[in-house]
Amino acid sequence: MSLSPSRPDSQIERAGWPVRRRSGGPALQQVVRLLLFGLCLLAVLVLVLYATWESDALTLKVGQIADRTVKAPRTATFISQTKTEAKRQEAYDDARNVVLRPDPAVAPNQTAALRQGLTVIDTVRADRSQDRARAEERIRGAVEGLTAEEASAIYALTDDSWTRVRQEAERLLRSALMNQIRAEDVAEVKERMLDNASLLLTNSERQLAAALARPFVQANVVVDEERTRAAREAAAQSVEPVYVTVQQGEVIVRDGDPVTREGMEKLEYFQLLSPQETWQQFFGVLGLLTLLTGGLLLYLYRAPHGPWQTRQLVLLGMVVLVPVVVGRFVLSHPDLRYMFPVAASAMLLAILLDVQVAVVVGGAIGLYLGIISGTSYEIAFITFLASVAGAVVIWRADRTTTFVWAGGAVALATSASAMLFTLVSGELDTMRIASLLVDGAVNGALAASLTFLSFSLFGRVFGITTHLQLLELAHPNQPLLYRLAREAPGTYHHSIVVSNLAESAVEVVGGDPLFARVAVLYHDIGKVLRPSFFVENQANRANVHEALDPHTSARIIQEHVSDGVRLARKARLPQPIIDVIQQHHGTTLIKYFYNRALTSGEEVDEAAFRYPGPRPQTKEAGVIMLADSVEAAVRAAAQAGRLFDESADGQSGGERHSTRLAEIVDRVIRERLDDGQLDECDLTLKQIEQVRQTFISILEGIYHPRIEYPELRRVAEPSPRPEAAATEVAS
């Protein structure tokens, strides 16, 4: 099967992957971006490799389950830093070492704050002319923490009762602040405040006094940081070093038990954790990773789908690093190496970008895994073969069963290649074949499942629309399409015809025909909000615009674009489709209402009668604009009976119709070109000519002239034979 690019250039652009124009060469910014990508990729790989560099005797860490029993090689007594530090930390954290000092400013400040709040309440209570709700709100604002019920009760107190409450609140606060209050004691002091209230007051007055005083209770002692730190350090330094004695033959770590800090300290003391792989090996592996990364960058530099933007490089980095980093840990287990679903990375790229890029990156991932797993060409070969199989099968992904077939291809490639390597080593038998078949099946199932579960998420995150998503959006039962067909049937029929035009024309110019069809189905979705204001939905009804001024009519027509964008975003349509909704009219002039405004004699601003834009930015958007305009113009001419005029020299209606239709298509396209509507999309004049010919060919099939059938004249004739009657019915 050919590994040529699976998607046309314009689809790559639509998905956020612009096509490099070879004439000018890559920009310096693109080179710098690729170099930074390569450095980041290499840095992560080197960090993972360094962090997981194995040791000679043991590769144990604290908390890890030991895979062997290790005993002390000799008797030794040494200072245990672990136990000594634990004792010193315990002494350092002792609460008795905390030194507190009073803060003399707290009591006067809080007392003054309480009095200020009480004074405000006095003022509010004295002014009985104001609204009660407003007065209670001001009381709550005077003292933070008061509830609405408490504020209402305070406002309702008699003057004598309020005087008692006021004095008791001040007394409670002074009494509380006379004692040392630490930060952790504030809540407890507030809770006890009601118990300390005077019994000479009523229960309601005691509660109000406590409620007024509570918000002003604050810690009046602070930790003396300098003296506390000195006390803690002195306590820690006073701890004597802790010695431990290990007897020869004593078990340091036991097989199956977790490694403790004390056990790790003993292993380090006896130098049982010396490195196995030398630094020369490390730098050799580093050199191989550097060369491979350089080769990958060179491919990306010359790839037909550059220049690469930051978000695309982030996607590539994730797709490469995740399997390589995980593989560093998984591939060390022989039972898991054939189940590791590395092909999911290539399959994901094949769906989101291109099969060629997927195959190359899949091969790079295989080489990365082969290098970090001990220069294993077996891993590299199996990974590459599985990636190619999965990517080639899944790249269109136009139905969910494709994922099943791709998983089967990955399983077959993995099992077959693993069997061949096992056959080379002379270890292939029936049990081994069964085991490899199971491993391959698990690999394929995991790869297909991971791809299926992640491609939609990655597509949304990186702004890429997949074929499967487009097929789902094209279904008539989609809520927006269903609503369009029911509420604006004329617009729906118009969208169907335009989608046929755009799909065929986009395919001719190398765009994505499926995307063009789906985008056209939604391009006029904003008309469902006011369907009767658009002529295709008016049927035999009167034109509502006849009762409106041109400016209002133009504004309503313009708003179907913004309404469509709003509806599309609410329905969470992909951004490329929303872009087409915004761009399908560009900044064209609404001529009909503009001319009406001119004939009224008033001064007219042309900008008020233009769509807001922007102009089409892609091939698909440009073709859709032309298809939309051409279909509307031809349909209007057909309804007015101007497509089938006979020429003066007696030409047939069909010949005259073809000429007239071509004139309309040429006029519409020329108007869009002269107005600069296609200046920002990547359509050449040659491609526009191809689009024109496609439009004419399809429209001739839709709006072909029809012969007039004569009325049937009934003449008394003998009854036909049964055979003749059957022949007439069949014809």
pLDDT single digits (tens) 451-461: 888 887 887 77
Q: Quick check: is 455 in a domain?
A: yes
Do residues 353 and 209 share a domain?
no
Q: What pLDDT, on a 0 to 100 scale, did the predictor assign at position 425?
A: 73
CB-based contact 212:116 (threshold 8 Å): no
Do residues 563 and 448 share a domain?
no
Instruction: Determine phi and psi for 253, rounding to 5 degrees.
Output: -130, 145
Which position has the token pair 């290499």?
Answer: 42
Q: Which of 215, 240, 269 is the last residue of a domain?
A: 215
Instruction: Determine phi and psi for 589, rounding to 5 degrees.
Output: -90, 135
Do residues 626 and 657 share a domain?
yes
CB-based contact 645:656 (threshold 8 Å): yes
* pLDDT digits 0-9 by tens, 493-540: 999 999 999 999 999 998 888 899 999 999 999 999 988 888 787 776
Q: Quick check: is 687 in a domain?
A: yes
Q: Quick check: is 257 in a domain?
A: no
Do residues 446 and 489 share a domain?
no
Encoded tokens for 81: 């830093």
Q: Quick check: is 575 in a domain?
A: yes
Beta bridge partners, 222, equal 101
Q: Quick check: helix, strand or coil at residue 42?
A: helix
HSE of 713 in the Cβ direction (CA atoms, 13 Å)?
2
* Residue-by-residue DSSP string for 248-305: TT-EEE-TTSBPPHHHHHHHHHTT---BSS-HHHHHHHHHHHHHHHHHHHHHHHH-TT
- Which DSSP symbol is given to 644? S
Do residues 531 and 449 share a domain?
no
Q: What pLDDT, on a 0 to 100 scale, did the predictor assign at position 521?
A: 93
The sign one gets for the Cα dihedral 585, 586, 589, 593 is: positive
* pLDDT digits 0-9 by tens, 223-250: 777 887 887 788 878 888 888 888 877 8
| pLDDT surpasses 50 at 487 | yes
Do residues 494 and 417 share a domain?
no
What percent of the chain is modeled with pLDDT above 70? 86
- Which DSSP symbol is given to 589? B
Q: What pLDDT, on a 0 to 100 scale, did the predictor assign at position 59?
A: 64
Q: What pLDDT, on a 0 to 100 scale, did the predictor assign at position 277?
A: 52
* pLDDT digits 0-9 by tens, 650-680: 444 445 556 788 899 999 999 999 999 999 8
Nearest Cα to Cα of residue 190 among 204, 201, 203, 177: 177
d(CA 160, CA 450): 77
Instruction: Give the structural domain span for 695.
Output: 478-702
Q: Quick check: is 289 in a domain?
A: no
Which position has the token pair 């000195």?
Answer: 230
CB-based contact 579:595 (threshold 8 Å): no
Which comes out higher in pLDDT, residue 262 or 12? 262
**426 Rama sector, left if φ>0, alpha if ψ -120 to 50, beta otherwise:** left
Q: Report the chain's C-alpha Rg in angstroms.
A: 41
- Which DSSP symbol is given to 99? -
Supply the CATH number for residue 693's domain.
1.10.3210
Mean pLDDT of the 462-488 span: 85
Nearest Cα to Cα of residue 661 among 695, 624, 687, 691: 695
d(CA 393, CA 406): 5
- Which DSSP symbol is given to 223? E
| pLDDT surpasses 90 at 267 | no
Domains contained in the chain, number:
3
* pLDDT digits 0-9 by tens, 177-227: 888 888 888 888 888 888 888 888 888 889 988 888 889 888 887 777 788
Do residues 591 and 653 share a domain?
yes
Instruction: Determine phi and psi for 258, rounding to 5 degrees.
Output: -70, 145
Do residues 496 and 377 share a domain?
no
Do residues 335 and 444 share a domain?
yes
How, if at all, do strands 243-246 and 221-223 pair? unpaired
Q: Quick check: is 341 in a domain?
A: yes
Nearest Cα to Cα of residue 390 among 378, 408, 377, 373: 408
Q: Quick check: is 714 in a domain?
A: no
Which comes out higher in pLDDT, residue 317 or 5? 317
Confidence of residue 624 (pLDDT cuts 50, 70, 90): very high
Q: What pLDDT, on a 0 to 100 scale, did the predictor assign at position 306?
A: 58
- Output the average pLDDT for the chain: 81
Q: What pLDDT, on a 0 to 100 scale, did the predictor assign at position 1?
A: 32
d(CA 245, CA 73): 13
Q: Quick check: helix, strand or coil at residue 222?
A: strand
Q: Quick check: is 139 in a domain?
A: yes
- Which DSSP symbol is given to 647? P
d(CA 411, CA 250): 49
Do residues 444 and 540 share a domain?
no
Encoded tokens for 150: 């408490």
Which comes out higher in pLDDT, residue 164 or 91? 164
Q: What pLDDT, on a 0 to 100 scale, did the predictor assign at position 274?
A: 53
| pLDDT surpasses 50 at 641 | yes
**641 Rama sector, left if φ>0, alpha if ψ -120 to 50, beta otherwise:** left
Q: Quick check: helix, strand or coil at residue 531?
A: helix
How, if at all, do strands 243-246 and 76-79 pair? antiparallel
Q: Which of 464, 493, 515 is the last residue of a domain?
A: 464
Supply the CATH number for residue 385's domain.
1.10.1760.20
Which position has the token pair 């097929």?
Answer: 471
Do residues 192 and 319 share a domain?
no
Q: Which of 166, 194, 215 is the last residue of a domain?
A: 215
Which position has the token pair 């096992």?
Answer: 422
Do residues 540 and 604 share a domain?
yes
